[in-house]
A = this chain, B = another copy of it.
Amino acid sequence: MADQSTNTQTKILEAASRVFQRKGMEGARMQEIADEAGINKALLHYYYRSKDKLFLEVFRLAIHDFIPGIRDILFRDVPLTQKLDHFIREYMRVLLENPFVPMFIIHELQRDPDRLFQVFVEAGIDPSEILQQVERSLKDNDHRSMDPKHLMINVLSLCIFPVAGRPLLQRIMFDNDGRAYEAFLEERYQVVSNFVINALQS
């Protein structure tokens, strides 16, 4: 049935997302994805003809689930500090739900830049308007002057790296204590928010 069909399809996509995000396109095995989805390889190819097509779909999903939503926050008419605070909280939340996505995107983009960047283009992602927003907010109030690009990348760095770098950071700085690192990430929203807002104070 169509019900079963879409059900299996999403089961496949979710399984493929997990495997691809953890092991990358080249590291992932179709058999492993089939196992993770609880089906067999034949059915996997029955739904997605090739590894490449399946991967592209997963990559598309990762970007669509991840990139938008950010825009909305930045376009509310509130002071910059509040805007930053909202963004950091919201973005950290999304990150914690999809901790492997940033690394996944960057790694795959390095492997096949031109083709995969098309996915961004198709998704209509355009940070220039976001940058303009940040720029306007920066001029209004009495903050230190700062290149909006640097500010934006600073915020992204502070949010993304601790999540993406977890396999290294948790082991090297937290004795591989998963719970301690969870707690660290949880409290991090406040820390980053304070850090950024303070850095902007003149």
Contact = CB atoms under 8 A, between A and B. Distances in A.
A47 interface: no
A169 interface: yes
Interface in A176-202: 184, 188, 191-192, 195-196, 198-201
Nearest to A174: B149
A120 to B, nearest CB: 6
A2 interface: no
A106 B149 contact: no
Contact of A168 (B106, B152, B161, B201): B106
Interface in A144-181: 144, 146-147, 149-150, 152-154, 156-158, 160-162, 164-165, 167-169, 171-173
Contact of A164 (B106, B173, B188, B192): B106
A27 B150 CA distance: 32
Interface stretch (A49-57, A78-86, A87-95, A107-115): A107-115
B27 A172 contact: no
A152 to B, nearest CB: 8
A96 interface: no
Contacts of A102: 165
Nearest to A164: B106
A166 to B, nearest CB: 8
Contact of A162 (B125, B157, B192): B157
24 contacts: A23-B111, A24-B26, A26-B26, A27-B111, A100-B110, A103-B103, A103-B106, A103-B107, A105-B168, A106-B165, A110-B167, A131-B173, A146-B191, A147-B191, A149-B173, A153-B169, A154-B195, A156-B161, A157-B161, A157-B162, A195-B199, A196-B199, A198-B201, A199-B199
